[in-house]
Structure 1
Amino acid sequence: MNILVTGSKGFIGKNLIAELKNRNYISIQEYSRDTDPALLNEYCKNADFVFHLAGVNRPKDQSEFMDGNYGFTSTLLETLKKYQNNCPVMISSSVQANLENPYGISKRAGEDLLFQYSNQTGAKALVYRFPNVFGKWCKPNYNSAIATFCHNIANGLPINVNDPNVKMNLVYIDDVVEELINALNCNESKVDDFCEVPVVHTISLGEIVDLIYSFKQSREERTIPDMSNSFSKSLYSTYLSYLPEDQFSYELKMNVDNRGSFTEFIKTPERGQVSVNISKPGITKGNHWHHTKNEKFLVVSGHGVIRFRKIDSSEVIEYFVSGKRLEVVDIPTGYTHNIENLGDTDMVTIMWANELFDPEKPDTYYLEV
């Protein structure tokens, strides 16, 4: 299948092409402002599907709206018509096509042109009126508030929010790409004459800004956002893509003593926390029990033994553990427990606890196993 993508170097185009290649679509004709215009004839002659993503949204002069959003669409469709190529054509429009501003008028003109072309030739027309699209590779300080906020906050630059109560309708780039590939496979989501991305997020500017600042703070607090919320998950992925390249890493506080170290890695209010425990050879750690706090231990390097004793029993239970055989050991409530390094090298254990440590209520009681 020959797939023509106009606007191939733009935000949506780059993401779409990357995923098409991931899915083994190998015959992709990429057309951008830098492409030799003469190639448009060859591409239109051979295309089996057209993703028309090229357009103008921030011109130096308003007349460029019609040239870019109507004029090039006309050229594209006339070239397809010249070669009697009635393949499906998808066009990237905007919700602003409903508005009487120069950008909206130019987008609506492009839509009308495609509908007329479809009526004349029988070619399938797929018109998407996208709301604000956000995600990786979107140019900041251009035409996307999300890209600008993520970039500026990640880089310690100021942002400007005129009205935090303004509601935004947003679609995530991965959802857009998924829908476009569905359209390629004749499985588009369509209402009347227009196609649409099924997942639209409605959220205020103020909420967006608060979330992004919380992402920045999370690296200092060793927390991660709520991944069960699809918008928060998508926005967090977007934010990380704007981190300065010399700031991908951040240090953790290691609590070190002669027994080894204990380091908190990730904290989540609703899913507990993950820590890394390093025990020196011959060292035993623990000898305590919990009422409600429960844990999971996973030794990933070295070998040792985890011992348990129910607090009202004299029977000791032993689980021998090793990084050579990854095995999760649950630490039930009501059992005092310890972990001893039986090797001659450091033993490294990943530890998960169901709750964050609260010094005011640690739920940890000393008792020898």
Structure 2
Amino acid sequence: MQVAVTGAHGFLGWHTRGALRELGGESRSIPVGDGFDAAKALSALNGSARLIHIAGVNRGSDLEVQAENVRFATQMASTILQADAPPPVVVFANSTQATNGSVYGNAKAEAAGILEAAAAKVGAEFLDVCLPNLFGEHGRPFYNAVTATFSHMLAHGQSPTVADDKHLTLMHAQDAADLLIGAGGDTCEGDTEVHESVGGLLARLTDIDAVYRRGEIPDVSRKFERDLFNTYRSYAFPEQAPVRLTRHSDSRGSFFEIIRSHGGCGQSSFSTTEPGISRGDHFHRRKIERFTVLAGTATISLRKLFTDEVFEFRVTGDEPVAVDMPTMWSHKITNTGPDPLYTSFWTNDIFNPQVPDTIAEAVQK
């Protein structure tokens, strides 16, 4: 499945491309604005199963916000109308602010109308997906959302404060991505939305920070807490990795704790790996996973999706550590020693082969 995406390199675009990977789909990026190339846009759009228009402007002067959102939509509408094989579905990542009368809201509403008219002319289905405040892994601090700012500051030892304790309607970016790609419906209503105050959000993240700094997993028994934790730890990696474990030894042998989890289900497993063999080369969208080498020598390798830099941790059972796999990062463990490698794996959910949340992705491309 080929999907054309504007704003593919932004926060929501990155999450959308990750969600497409789970379905075996690929994105065709279409730059808009000053970087718009009509011929390249037409090539990317032709034959695509879906157009997802994410690109937008929500900061700047009133004139810039209004003009740029309309310009982006006009560029894509023109491309739709010129396509020999236009996508049968056109999706607009709209905002719940589209009806609040603000300059940004009016601009988004006008952009929706432009795209809807173009879709109607070519017989395509138009989905106007109204999204609330989004949060998630790797949002830009001080720009995308207050959740990103709080998480970044806490993970780096700073003390954020609340300037305006208003109430927010929040949605995790992966839930928004599912809506856009058609994996989770076409409205923003349902249990994917959470209502919380800015102060309440900071209190939750502060608790997460305190627990995780001890090397422990906070209460992730509910979806929102799990999504917040995954968001927070995207800012804590790699600075807070690996988690150092205390090994106790005496004449009987040795003992160390692998994990302390404060809430939610979980699953533990154990593997042996022969010298030179790797396990993994996949990523998770929501699953929390911890690797702990019990005996032997290994290298744990990780790469953030759609980037090239690989982080490596050389670990050994003689000095035990735990390495937590960030969501949306491909990862693997390789036995680099001469003896069999013994590894403990822990995840926060019980494996479901129907919904494995384990997507193949090589660490080294």
**Structure 1 gap segments, 5+ residues each:** 275-299, 303-347, 351-369
Give the superposition deviation at 1:254: 3.9
Give the superposition deviation at 1:122: 2.9
Paired residues in the alignment total: 272
**5 Å matches for 1:221-236?**
221-236=214-229
Q: TM-score, normalised by structure 2?
A: 0.66
User: For the structure 1 residues 175 and 108, does the alpha-carbon distance in structure 2 shift closer, same or farther, using more than 3 Å as the test?
Assistant: same
User: For the structure 1 residues 163 and 79, does the alpha-carbon distance in structure 2 shift closer, same or farther, using more than 3 Å as the test?
Assistant: closer
- Aligned counterpart in structure 2 of residue 188 of structure 1, from 185, 188, 192: 185
User: For the structure 1 residues 220 and 152, does the alpha-carbon distance in structure 2 shift closer, same or farther, using more than 3 Å as the test?
Assistant: closer
Task: State whether residues 134 and 238 of structure 1, in contact with CA within 8 Å, keep that contact through their aligned partners in structure 2.
Answer: yes
Task: State whether residues 46 and 87 of structure 2, in contact with CA within 8 Å, keep that contact through their aligned partners in structure 1.
Answer: no
Does residue 47 in structure 1 map to residue 48 in structure 2?
yes
User: What SS does structure 2 have at the residue aligned with 1:266?
Assistant: coil
Give the superposition deviation at 1:246: 3.0
Task: State whether residues 267 and 273 of structure 1, in contact with CA within 8 Å, keep that contact through their aligned partners in structure 2.
Answer: no
Counterpart in 2 of 1:247? 240
Counterpart in 2 of 1:283? none
Give the superposition deviation at 1:229: 1.0
Task: State whether residues 266 and 273 of structure 1, in contact with CA within 8 Å, keep that contact through their aligned partners in structure 2.
Answer: no
**5 Å matches for 1:192-271?**
199-269=192-262
Q: TM-score, normalised by structure 1?
A: 0.65
**5 Å matches for 1:264-283?**
264-269=257-262
Task: State whether residues 180 and 186 of structure 2, in contact with CA within 8 Å, keep that contact through their aligned partners in structure 1.
Answer: no
Counterpart in 2 of 1:179? 179
User: What SS does structure 2 have at the residue aligned with 1:267?
Assistant: coil
Task: State whether residues 6 and 53 of structure 2, in contact with CA within 8 Å, keep that contact through their aligned partners in structure 1.
Answer: yes
**Structure 2 gap segments, 5+ residues each:** 268-293, 297-341, 345-365
User: For the structure 1 residues 104 and 50, does the alpha-carbon distance in structure 2 shift closer, same or farther, using more than 3 Å as the test?
Assistant: same
User: For the structure 1 residues 159 and 55, does the alpha-carbon distance in structure 2 shift closer, same or farther, using more than 3 Å as the test?
Assistant: same
Task: State whether residues 96 and 104 of structure 1, in contact with CA within 8 Å, keep that contact through their aligned partners in structure 2.
Answer: yes
Q: Distance in 1 between the 2:214 and 2:83 partners?
A: 60
User: For the structure 1 residues 266 and 236, does the alpha-carbon distance in structure 2 shift closer, same or farther, using more than 3 Å as the test?
Assistant: same
Give the superposition deviation at 1:219: 2.9
Letter in 1 for 2:186: S
User: For the structure 1 residues 270 and 121, does the alpha-carbon distance in structure 2 shift closer, same or farther, using more than 3 Å as the test?
Assistant: closer
Task: State whether residues 189 and 197 of structure 1, in contact with CA within 8 Å, keep that contact through their aligned partners in structure 2.
Answer: no
Counterpart in 1 of 2:13? 13
Q: Distance in 1 between the 2:195 and 2:180 partners?
A: 21
Task: State whether residues 252 and 264 of structure 1, in contact with CA within 8 Å, keep that contact through their aligned partners in structure 2.
Answer: yes
**5 Å matches for 1:134-149?**
134-149=135-150
The CA deviation string for residues 230-272 of structure 1, in whole angstroms up to 9 with x for no partner, is 1001100111111152322232344454544443343345579
Task: State whether residues 151 and 205 of structure 2, in contact with CA within 8 Å, keep that contact through their aligned partners in structure 1.
Answer: yes
User: What SS does structure 2 have at the residue aligned with 1:76?
Assistant: helix
Task: State whether residues 9 and 32 of structure 1, in contact with CA within 8 Å, keep that contact through their aligned partners in structure 2.
Answer: no
Q: Distance in 2 between the 1:69 and 1:155 partners?
A: 34
Q: Distance in 1 between the 2:5 and 2:80 partners?
A: 14
Counterpart in 2 of 1:318? none
Does residue 97 in structure 1 map to residue 98 in structure 2?
yes
Question: In angstroms, what is the RMSD of aligned CA positions?
Answer: 3.2
User: For the structure 1 residues 120 and 41, does the alpha-carbon distance in structure 2 shift closer, same or farther, using more than 3 Å as the test?
Assistant: closer
Task: State whether residues 50 and 88 of structure 2, in contact with CA within 8 Å, keep that contact through their aligned partners in structure 1.
Answer: yes
User: What SS does structure 2 have at the residue aligned with 1:168?
Assistant: strand
User: What SS does structure 2 have at the residue aligned with 1:188?
Assistant: coil
Letter in 2 for 1:90: V
Task: State whether residues 215 and 243 of structure 2, in contact with CA within 8 Å, keep that contact through their aligned partners in structure 1.
Answer: no
Counterpart in 2 of 1:284? none
Task: State whether residues 58 and 143 of structure 1, in contact with CA within 8 Å, keep that contact through their aligned partners in structure 2.
Answer: no
